[in-house]
């Protein structure tokens, strides 16, 4: 199957595209996009991979589902298009960056600038039906994105995996912690963050310290 995804990822994940689950997933997604409004727009489904080639990845931030309201999702976890109001989780991410690194709240919630520096902003499920959170879960996307996480863990060294919330933390079993840094905390959504454990986690400074220790350029968050 010819999947339009960045070439280095095609090399590392090409076997997945021939498996029955991915054929079934493709048929499901095509049917959904034909019948319903779905997000992100088709050309952005693999945006996280296309902006961040396999060998350029330095950090992986795992989300669960794309945003499901109009104009928000563009294929990067936690990110929204320019000009879109910041969702509550993203506001809390920027607040923690400000507390941790002293960087003021940006004007845009578009995190393409992170992806271009080597941050893979990976949702476990890459598509969703409009106004229906979780509608494309358990259709095969998780098998595919788990394969991506495992490939990075197995074939790269000294990456930072950032796991926010119970769902992301469930992916820890895919990661070889003897050669990568795993940072965990509660989810930045207000429901979790306001209970404690989000603010003051210092994930952004800790991530950069680790990258620099291993001869990599820090991320300009």
Whether residue 87 contacts residue 189, with contact meaning beta carbons closer than 8 Å, is answered with no
Put residue 139 in one of left, alpha, beta given phi > 0 → left and psi -120 to 50 → alpha.
Answer: alpha
Q: Which two tokens stand for residue 106?
A: 């940006």
Spatial distance between the Cα atoms of 86 and 104, rounded to a whole number of angstroms: 14
Got the DSSP string for 100-151? HH-PPPPS---THHHHTTTEEEEESS--EETTBTTTTTTSSHHHHHHHHHHH
Among residues 2, 65, 100, 146, the one annotated as catalytic is: 65
Q: Which two tokens stand for residue 112?
A: 């393409």
Q: Is 65 a catalytic residue?
A: yes
CA distances from 221 to 1, 39, 130, 191 (A): 36, 26, 30, 24
Catalytic amino acids? 65
């Amino acid at each position: 199957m010819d999947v339009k995804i960045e070439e280095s990822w095609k090399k590392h994940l090409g076997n997945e595209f021939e498996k029955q689950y991915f054929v079934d997933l493709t048929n499901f997604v095509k049917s959904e996009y034909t019948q319903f409004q779905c997000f992100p727009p088709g050309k952005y489904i693999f945006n996280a991979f296309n902006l961040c080639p396999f060998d350029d990845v330095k950090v992986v931030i795992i989300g669960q589902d794309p945003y499901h309201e109009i104009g928000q999702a563009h294929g990067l976890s936690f990110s929204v298009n320019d000009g879109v109001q910041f969702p509550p989780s993203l506001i809390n991410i920027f607040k923690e960056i400000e507390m941790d690194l002293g960087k003021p709240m940006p004007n845009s919630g578009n995190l393409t600038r992170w992806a271009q520096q080597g941050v893979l902003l990976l949702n476990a499920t890459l598509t969703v039906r409009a106004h229906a959170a979780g509608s494309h879960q358990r259709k095969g996307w998780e098998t595919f994105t788990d394969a991506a996480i495992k490939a990075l863990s197995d074939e790269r060294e000294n990456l930072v995996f950032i796991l926010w919330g119970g769902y992301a933390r469930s992916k820890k079993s895919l990661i070889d912690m003897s050669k990568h840094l795993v940072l965990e905390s509660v989810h930045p959504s207000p429901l979790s963050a306001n209970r404690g454990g989000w603010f003051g986690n210092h994930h952004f400074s800790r991530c950069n310290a680790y990258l620099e220790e291993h001869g990599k350029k820090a991320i300009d968050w």
